[in-house]
Amino acid sequence: MTEAILLVGGKGTRLRPLTVHTPKPMVQAAGVPFLTHQLARARAAGVEHIVLATSYLAEVFEPYFGDGSSLGLSIEYVTEEEPLGTGGAIRNVASRLHSGPEDPVLIFNGDILTGLDIRALVETHTTSGADVSLHLTRVDDPRAFGLVPTDDTGRVLAFLEKPQTPEEIVTDQINAGAYVFRRSVIDTIPADRPVSVERETFPGLLASGAHLQGMVDSTYWLDLGTPGAFVRGSADLVTGRAPSPAVPGRCGDRLVLPTARVAPDAKLVGGTVVGEGALVGAGARISGSTILPGAVIGPGAVVTSSFVGAGARVGARTALTGAVIGDGADVGADNELHEGVRVWCGATLPDAAIRFSSDQ
Ligand code: GDD
Ligand code: MG
């Protein structure tokens, strides 16, 4: 049986203060909690047993996913009392694994949207005989990631988490957050204390001569760590650029959940998703945006690449670009909110309160 560990925890997320009651893995991307996409993709690749290793708001996962049978999976939940770091979280769930010492165990960062061929990663692991195999991807700016130079056979030469100096930037290949571990390697991670798999386990394994194998795969890949990335990921799921068997409905320009109501002349494009019970008023134009359940978009509003939280209201003719509107916030009519603005959960903005001017 193939099994996997899904890491969802840690220091919290930048999206979380805007969705107070829901940790980010449960915020809806393309109409279902984001985690559903990862679970469904793992299942499609033959994974049957998943251990969710979490350190925060664990109580929201189990009521939603239960024993996993609705996704054809068997899911177990383990909650850390204090965040144990990525390596500590993996070690902490080792007793739940059914795999034998030589068997491959998949591990996924819980905030990644990717088209990775999971079976190919397991195959690379098996044929190379590696102790650990890692999915690698190429990015323009690797500073926010783990840098992973390899030799020409794909064998990992070093692991440099969040490189600081220009000299450290020796490659554009980064750790994409999906691994296959030989089960016995998991058991060597110290128990009961925080361990970073990136800063401690991987460098330690390399220093001891272990075989780490990289598989560069340039398929769709996105870390959903920022609200902007989350919105983009959701739109890519809707259009089908990011493949997921869990998107409810056909892929296309828009996804309107069954109980949402959209005025006939409203225009929804670019992978916009309108959640359950949300309302979109006459003449509104929404592009590449996530409108969560129960939100209201007023008539004539223009919403681009933005996130509108559950139950939030966007007034008539208000323009949003790259904005994040927290759950239950109330943005009055005729406002103009641009790149990077975040309206906190439940905050109220009067009509015509904010205009944007470049003063050019
Ligand atoms: N259970 C648990 N406990 N999970 C954790 C903990 C913890 O203490 N700390 C982090 N995680 C989970 C996060 O929820 C996330 O799903 C994953 O582990 C990675 O943590 P992030 O905090 O998102 O790390 P990052 O994005 O800065 O860097 C990681 O991902 C990059 C790819 O997106 C590293 O693995 C980098 O090497 C990698 O390039
Ligand atoms: Mg991340």
Dump pLDDT digits (tens) for 301-310. 999 999 999 9
pLDDT band at 15 (very low <50, low <70, confident <90, very high): low
Cα 95 from chain centre: 26
Q: What pLDDT, on the 0 to 100 scale, is given for residue 242? A: 96
3-state secondary structure of 17: helix
Q: Which atom of ligand 1 is nearest to the CA of 11?
A: 9
Q: What pLDDT, on the 0 to 100 scale, is given for residue 13? A: 52
Hey, which CATH number is domain 253-349, 2.160.10.10, 2.130.10.10, 2.30.30.60, 3.10.20.600?
A: 2.160.10.10
What does the pLDDT average to over 127-155? Answer: 96
Tokens of 304: 């681009």
The residue whose CA is least distant from atom 25 of ligand 1 is 145
Ligand 1 within 6 A of 163 CB? no
Rounded CA-CA distance 308/93 in Å is 35
Q: What pLDDT, on the 0 to 100 scale, is given for residue 17? A: 58
Ligand 1 within 6 A of 327 CB? no
- Strand 272-274 relative to strand 290-291: parallel, antiparallel, unpaired? parallel
Tokens of 236: 């890519």
Amino acid sitting at position 84:
L
Please tell me the class of the 3-223 domain: alpha beta
Q: What pLDDT, on the 0 to 100 scale, is given for residue 203? A: 98
Q: What pLDDT, on the 0 to 100 scale, is given for residue 23? A: 67
3-state secondary structure of 235: helix
Residue with tokens 């969705």: 19
Please determine, for residue 329, whether its predicted confidence score (pLDDT) is greater than 70.
yes
Please determine, for residue 210, whether its predicted confidence score (pLDDT) is greater than 60.
yes
Cα 302 from chain centre: 26
For the chain, the residue count is 360
Q: What pLDDT, on the 0 to 100 scale, is given for residue 57? A: 72
Q: What pLDDT, on the 0 to 100 scale, is given for residue 16? A: 58
Ligand 1 within 6 A of 175 CB? yes
Rounded CA-CA distance 172/151 in Å is 14
Pairwise pLDDT comparison (340 vs 40), residue with the higher score: 40
Would you kindly state where each structural domain of the chain is located, as residue ranges? 3-223, 253-349
Q: Rounded to the nearest whole angstrom, what is the distance from the C-alpha of residue 36 to the centroid of ligand 2?
A: 17
The residue whose CA is least distant from atom 4 of ligand 1 is 9
Catalytic residues: 162
What does the pLDDT average to over 314-326? Answer: 97
pLDDT band at 9 (very low <50, low <70, confident <90, very high): confident
Nearest to 317 by CA among 337, 291, 294: 337
Task: Answer for the pair 95, 46: CB distance below 8 angstroms, yes or no.
Answer: no
Nearest to 303 by CA among 316, 318, 292: 318
Q: What pLDDT, on the 0 to 100 scale, is given for residue 18? A: 64
The residue whose CA is least distant from atom 17 of ligand 1 is 109
Q: What pLDDT, on the 0 to 100 scale, is given for residue 20? A: 57
Write the pLDDT tens digit of every residue in 90-120: 999 999 999 999 999 999 999 999 999 999 9
Question: What is the percentage of the chain residues whose pLDDT exceeds 90?
Answer: 87
Rounded CA-CA distance 131/121 in Å is 13
Write the pLDDT tens digit of every residue in 263-278: 999 999 999 999 999 9
Task: Answer for the pair 338, 324: CB distance below 8 angstroms, yes or no.
Answer: no
What does the pLDDT average to over 201-225? Answer: 96
Q: Which ligand is nearest to the CA of 145?
A: 1
Question: What is the percentage of the chain residues whose pLDDT exceeds 70?
Answer: 96
Nearest to 255 by CA among 237, 280, 230: 237
Rounded CA-CA distance 232/76 in Å is 30
What does the pLDDT average to over 206-222? Answer: 96
